[in-house]
Amino acid sequence: MIAGKGQCFVKRAYSNIFTAWTVNVKFSLEIVPKLYKEEYMGVKVAKFIDLREGVTANQFTIGDREKIESISDLDPMYKRLMDEPIACVMAVMGGIGRPNLTPMWFDYEGDKVLVNVAEHRKKTKWIKDNPQISIMLVNPKEMYHWLSLKVTVEKSTHEDEEGGEKVIKQLNKIAKKYLGVDEYPLRDPSFPEKRILFECKVDNVATFGTFDWNNW
């Protein structure tokens, strides 16, 4: 009889363990991915309080926040900063531990920012060593109208590797955007310069100011 009670106790214990394991597995397979998606999918946008109505309380601080699916869904007021041939300033962590700033052509596709660089440049190594990049686009006609992005490299492609044709295609695309030509004309003529394309996930975005695009 004692043995029987012991067996029942053991069965109940195993049953409780199995139930707990089942709940944990279900949480891991169903709930965690959902929480992950809600927390990490999409792009967080911080909207700074600007001067559109003159000097105001808390100006230059974050007013509202929102989340969008991708940078393609940005408010047209700021998305156009990405679409016009406006040079961006790109910051990467340099070799001596300080941010290195470079004026760059800006490009994106869907929800990815595309950074096309010459293989031999120092900043290419810096990006590989620390794949977190900050980018700012300032309206050249209104300094109080800007967009900044923090991005992280997800993938890199060399023009000579399989699939490398997309590196050249993207390079020619931004040459058309910024120079109005069909083929990128600025490769270093002293040696066979090669290009690398970094595809970057957008971590968060900040926006500031307004502009009457009719005056562009």
Q: Hey, what amino acid is at 104?
A: M
The number of beta carbons lying within 10 Å of the beta carbon of residue 134 is 16
- From CA 166, how far away is CA 154, in angstroms rounded? 16
Sign of CA dihedral 183, 190, 94, 128: positive
As a residue count, the chain comes to 216
As a dihedral over the C-alpha atoms of residue 158, residue 161, residue 165, residue 169, rounded to 10 degrees, the angle is 0
The CATH number of the domain holding residue 113 is 2.30.110.10
160 shares a domain with 93: yes
Q: Higher confidence at residue 107 or residue 60?
A: 107
pLDDT in tens, 65-95: 888 888 999 999 999 999 999 999 999 999 8
The number of beta carbons lying within 10 Å of the beta carbon of residue 112 is 19
22 shares a domain with 48: no
Range of the domain at 26: 1-40
89 shares a domain with 14: no
Which range is most confident: 26-30, 37-41, 61-65, 178-182?
178-182
194 shares a domain with 91: yes
- From CA 32, how far away is CA 53, in angstroms rounded? 44
27 shares a domain with 54: no
87 shares a domain with 164: yes
pLDDT in tens, 44-62: 888 877 777 677 777 777 7
- pLDDT of 10 over the 90 cut: no
Per the structure, the count of domains in the chain is: 2
Q: Are 158 and 194 in contact (CB under 8 A)?
A: yes
93 shares a domain with 27: no
Note the pLDDT of residue 5.
54
State the DSSP H helix or E strand holding residue 45, giving kind and residue range, or none if neither: strand 43-48
